Amino acid sequence: MRSLRLIRLTGALLALTIGLGGAQAMAASRIKDIVQFEGVRENKLVGYGLVVGLAGTGDSLRNNPMTKQSLEAMMERLGVNMRDATNIDTKNVAAVMVTASLPAFAAAGSTIDVNVAAMGDAKSLQGGTLLVTPLLGADGEAYAVGQGTVETGSISAGGASGSSVSKGVPTAGRIAGGASIEREVGFELANMNVLRLTLRNPDFTTSRRVADVINARYPGSAQAENPTIVALKPPAGSDMVSFVTSLENLEVEPDAPAKVVIDEVAGVIVMGENVRLSTVAIAQGNLTISVEEKPAVSQPLPFSQGTTQVVPQSKVKVDEEKGKKLLVVKEGASLASLVAGLNALGVTPRDMISILQAIKTAGALQADIEVM
């Protein structure tokens, strides 16, 4: 037999350090894009129901007593007594969990989409119909009622021998506009005296800038309480809705801490604009060692009473990549210059991960490294 083992050794030489200049100004963003308004959010709803009309792909009632009990209870509410029936063996019914998101300020009578997922051993929900299902909020009250035909967007098929193939998830589906809102969330924004803005990316500088931009238009209306919260008070003679409408399109330049995010599994690196380094010199090269084995058979001479032996023969080859030079990133260079320099060395994303981690270990990377 012939075996070939390749051992790849990647080296990164670091010395000295890099100093980059001041951060470039980030692009301005609207206030509505970087904050969330207190109380203006979705509310999660959940319900338990039955999907009927399945073509033999539903729950097995013998293995899923909850489905059988739910079916019996539903039929009793409709005036059909099934408690004495012991031979119910349909596979056209499935017990499901129904979830939905109730938008902020949703009015009674409007519709929302719902998601349906099987709970038992149903094979597919494709083509089934969800029966009337109350959707409850965290307070236990019903805010919507769902019903409709389930669409899974999947394909599944099976043969008599037991082989099967499927595309997508046939046991989970969606009903577009499948729930009607029956109860509104009691949140009166117009009557609020104080409204808090929550920054999606908490930061002291950004919070202060948001308050300053608002106060420049409406003096004394905003106060930065912490890196996350900016409190608003509408000016005299203005209600909260009109006040929020007038300020949500004001532009602010958000700030962010320097951070390098590394996904070692996918080999992805994301570096923020504020990443800075001290002066550094970097060299990267690849060393490949090839070990090739060719076993040989040694036969004994005639009448020597010897035995046949396998003699290993190995061939070792070392291939070192040439042409790689030491890269020096000069003081005042930007992040783009650093990336361009690393690309000039021909490093792969995974090699670049090793280089960045080595720079951080050397104390030359002025940023946090977050490994996913």
Quick: pLDDT tens for 73-101.
888 888 888 776 667 778 899 999 999 99
Query: What pTM did the predictor assign?
Result: 0.66
Arithmetic mean of pLDDT, 360-371: 79
- In single-letter form, the type of residue at position 58 comes to G
Could you tell me if residue 164 is inside a domain? yes
Structure token digits, residue 112: 């929302």
- Give the total number of structural domains in the chain: 3
Q: How much is the pLDDT for 65?
A: 87
Could you tell me if residue 98 is inside a domain? yes
Q: Do 50 and 277 form a contact (C-beta atoms < 8 A)?
A: no
Could you tell me if residue 29 is inside a domain? no
140 and 236 assigned to the same domain: no
**Confidence label for 8 from pLDDT (cuts 50, 70 and 90):** very low
Could you tell me if residue 264 is inside a domain? yes
> Which residues make beta-bridge pairs with 164?
158
Q: Mean pLDDT score of the chain, rounded to an integer?
A: 79
d(C-alpha 102, C-alpha 45), whole Å = 7
Q: Which of 215, 230, 252 is a domain's end point?
A: 252
276 and 228 assigned to the same domain: no
Q: How much is the pLDDT for 180?
A: 95
Could you tell me if residue 35 is inside a domain? no
d(C-alpha 258, C-alpha 237), whole Å = 42
Could you tell me if residue 241 is inside a domain? yes
CA nearest neighbour of 112 among 53, 171, 174: 174
63 and 136 assigned to the same domain: yes
Q: How much is the pLDDT for 32?
A: 92
204 and 329 assigned to the same domain: no
Residue span of the structural domain in which 140 resides: 43-181
Could you tell me if residue 166 is inside a domain? yes
**Which residues fall within 8 angstroms of residue 193, CB to CB, at 6 or more apart?**
233, 234, 240
**Which residues fall within 8 angstroms of residue 136, CB to CB, at 6 or more apart?**
45, 46, 47, 142, 143
323 and 279 assigned to the same domain: yes
Arithmetic mean of pLDDT, 14-18: 30
Quick: pLDDT tens for 332-344.
455 566 667 667 6
Q: Do 89 and 56 form a contact (C-beta atoms < 8 A)?
A: no
Arithmetic mean of pLDDT, 197-224: 93
60 and 174 assigned to the same domain: yes
57 and 170 assigned to the same domain: yes
167 and 48 assigned to the same domain: yes
308 and 275 assigned to the same domain: yes
Q: Which of 123, 154, 181 is a domain's end point?
A: 181
Arithmetic mean of pLDDT, 255-284: 76
**Confidence label for 290 from pLDDT (cuts 50, 70 and 90):** low
Arithmetic mean of pLDDT, 179-202: 88
Q: How much is the pLDDT for 5?
A: 33
162 and 265 assigned to the same domain: no
174 and 208 assigned to the same domain: no
Q: How much is the pLDDT for 156?
A: 67
Q: Decide if pLDDT at 182 tops 90.
A: yes
CA nearest neighbour of 40 among 340, 258, 240: 240
75-84, 110-119, 132-141, 225-234: the lowest-pLDDT one = 75-84
151 and 73 assigned to the same domain: yes
Arithmetic mean of pLDDT, 169-188: 90
Q: Which of 224, 252, 280 is a domain's end point?
A: 252
Could you tell me if residue 28 is inside a domain? no
d(C-alpha 340, C-alpha 28), whole Å = 26
